Chain A
Amino acid sequence: MSNVLIVAEQHQGALRKATLHAVAAGRELAQRTGGKLHVALLGAGVKGLAAGLTRHGAEVHVADAAVLEKPVAEAHAPVVVAIAKATRATFVGAAATAYGKDLLPRAAALLDAGMATEVLSFGGDGAQVTFRRPMWAGNVLAEVEIASAVKVFTVRPTEFAASAPDAAGSVVDEPVSVDAGGLQTRHVSFEEVKSARPELTEARVIVSGGRGTKGDFKPIEALADLLGAAVGATRAAVDAGWVPNDMQVGQTGKVVAPELYIAAGISGAIQHLAGMKGSKIIVAVNKDEEAPVFQIADYGLVGDLFKVLPELGQKLAPK
């Protein structure tokens, strides 16, 4: 009997969409191992989110305390560990978001557990579950085993379709004994970059810009708005300060897998391709016909994005 604990993520009182993808992974894992699905929900004033999570067939453990209001790993990790022990979880997982990637390894260390980051799929069942994950910027797919008694993992949200609320569960209130005064971490500030556009990892369509925009993302944004798309960027664009870091698509930025990815003014560096080569259809627009991006694009147009994108926009919404 190998129980599964998924750590949910909420932000300012709303559940992160990525959590439902992690819950889906947790449900699959629980099926493979014959164990029970548990979900941990940490925060302050978050009890209202528990009921929704029970509908995914989980026992939801709510750790609600002021000391957990901010996503500080030093405070959250011992709580995750306590819930993992209380639920006798063999598997502890979360979505591979900034929160999951920051928190789960710390919890894993405290659990004496090995961990697989950014799992794409599971193999095997029972005690023999294996984890498939990318290595070398996604150039290699590795199947790994975790030899410790407890196995920790994060999943790439785009690889697991979001769980549907089609079951029933229960809620357990968990006591929180983290001493706020003893913490060595102080949350100073969070500067949010709000956007009305869809999240990159959830979007059906992404329009992305690189060095070729020379800092002018207006054609990218205009086309994205016509398509109801998310806006992405390369590392170069973010490094230059043209767009916020949250928009970076790449090996160490966001890995996306939309139906349609339009890469404008993007040459196609290995690290960028690692972040978007899972897209169903890739369109590349670049002035340079030798740009490596054309090697993986389904449709490549050699041209000036400042002309091409507005023209394409015209086709979508003729004025």
Chain B
Amino acid sequence: MALKVLVTAKRVEDPESKIKVRPDGGGIVTDGVNYKMNPFDEIAVEEALRLKEKHGGEVVVASIGGDRSVTEIRAALAMGADRGVLVKHDGPLDPVVVSALLAKVCEAEKPDLVILGKQSIDDDQNQAGQYLAARLGRPQATFASKKESLESEAEAKKEPGLRLGADGKTIQVVREIDGGIETLELRLPAVVTTDLRLNKPRFASLPGIMKAKKKPVQEIAATSLGVDLTPKVVLKKLAEPPARKGGVRVADVEELWKKLHDEAKAL
């Protein structure tokens, strides 16, 4: 019941970086900013590795971007993925273009399952997985999580949260939605996007990092895939939100109560 899983590894600004808008509002300041794999994609890679460890198969990691995106592919390979595909494109991307390119990769790779992060922490659009599922005409399960907490034994044992059916033709996905937890069963091939609590991604080991250097990474020019690379979502202007003014320290509950009741009239 080996599974071929395709995962994504987007290169994004380190979430701990201070993000500042350029004075001309045309972009963000990139000087001094660190980059890493989109945290939700790390969770996708981890889940794919757990499925491979349990059921056998192959994990292929795809990234779309400039040359430097290969760093994120190598990071996924270091975690244990088998092969990488870099779709090279230096221009602006949006979920419309990304999903079209990924659909082409899927045409060639024919994965049983595609796992993506639910959103990338730069644009926070939360669309690519859903668009891809629609393009492929396949079912989707977004915001995949699991019932067991990240402090549970199941998590410590690195059990996958996604449950492959006994016949290997379906996958059960637990989703965090408004008001509770939903479980869907999808017929493979299918598209899943990950949420925070699906798993805790592993750190790459030193042997893993060394092995990663020898694993194959195929480079494909985006322009060779016959996809319209014009983004449909166009950034016109960026601005920083109004900063909150600093507040005051209160010494005790008495003072807090006075402020809230008398001054702010909030209570």
- A-to-B contact residues, CB < 8 Å: 11, 16, 72-74, 77, 97-99, 101-110, 113-118, 130, 134-148, 183-194, 205, 227, 235, 238-241, 244-246, 251-252, 259-260, 270-271, 277, 280-283, 294-303, 308, 311-312, 315-316
Given contacts A190-B180, A192-B180, A260-B267, contact A241 B149 (CB under 8 A): yes
Q: Pick the contact of A300: B140, B185, B248 (CB < 8 A).
A: B248
Q: Pick the contact of A117: B126, B230, B231, B236 (CB < 8 A).
A: B126
Contact residues in B for A74 (Cβ distance below 8 Å): 139-140
- Residues of B228-267 whose CB lies within 8 A of A: 230-241, 244, 246-253, 256-257, 259-261, 264, 266-267
**Residue B24 CB within 8 A of the other chain:** no
Contact residues in B for A189 (Cβ distance below 8 Å): 182-183
Residue of A with least CB distance to B133: A106
**Residue B71 CB within 8 A of the other chain:** no
Q: Give min CB distance, A159 to chain B, whole Å.
A: 12
- B-to-A contact residues, CB < 8 Å: 13, 15-16, 19, 21, 28, 94-96, 99, 118-119, 121-127, 129-131, 133-135, 138-143, 145, 149-152, 172, 175-187, 190, 195-197, 230-241, 244, 246-253, 256-257, 259-261, 264, 266-267
B143 & A144 in contact (Cβ 8 Å cutoff): no
CA distance A259 to B239 in the complex (A): 25
Q: Pick the contact of A97: B134, B178, B257 (CB < 8 A).
A: B178
Given A114-B233, A183-B139, A244-B180, 9 additional A-B pairs, CB 8 A: A73-B140, A134-B124, A141-B241, A245-B176, A246-B180, A260-B266, A295-B246, A299-B264, A308-B256
Given contacts A114-B96, A144-B236, A245-B197, contact A184 B139 (CB under 8 A): yes
Given contacts A99-B177, A191-B181, A246-B179, contact A301 B267 (CB under 8 A): no
Given contacts A185-B186, A189-B182, A239-B149, contact A252 B119 (CB under 8 A): yes
CA distance A103 to B15 in the complex (A): 27
CA distance A115 to B138 in the complex (A): 20
Contact residues in A for B186 (Cβ distance below 8 Å): 184-186
B197 & A102 in contact (Cβ 8 Å cutoff): no
A301 & B240 in contact (Cβ 8 Å cutoff): no
B127 & A105 in contact (Cβ 8 Å cutoff): yes
B244 & A277 in contact (Cβ 8 Å cutoff): yes
Contact residues in B for A144 (Cβ distance below 8 Å): 233-236
Contact residues in B for A186 (Cβ distance below 8 Å): 184-186
B196 & A235 in contact (Cβ 8 Å cutoff): yes
CA distance A187 to B244 in the complex (A): 43
- Which of A108, A235, A280 has the largest count of B CB atoms less than 10 A from its CB? A108
4 smallest beta-carbon distances between A and B, as pairs: A114-B232, A241-B149, A105-B130, A109-B134
Contact residues in A for B237 (Cβ distance below 8 Å): 142-143
Residue of B with least CB distance to A154: B126
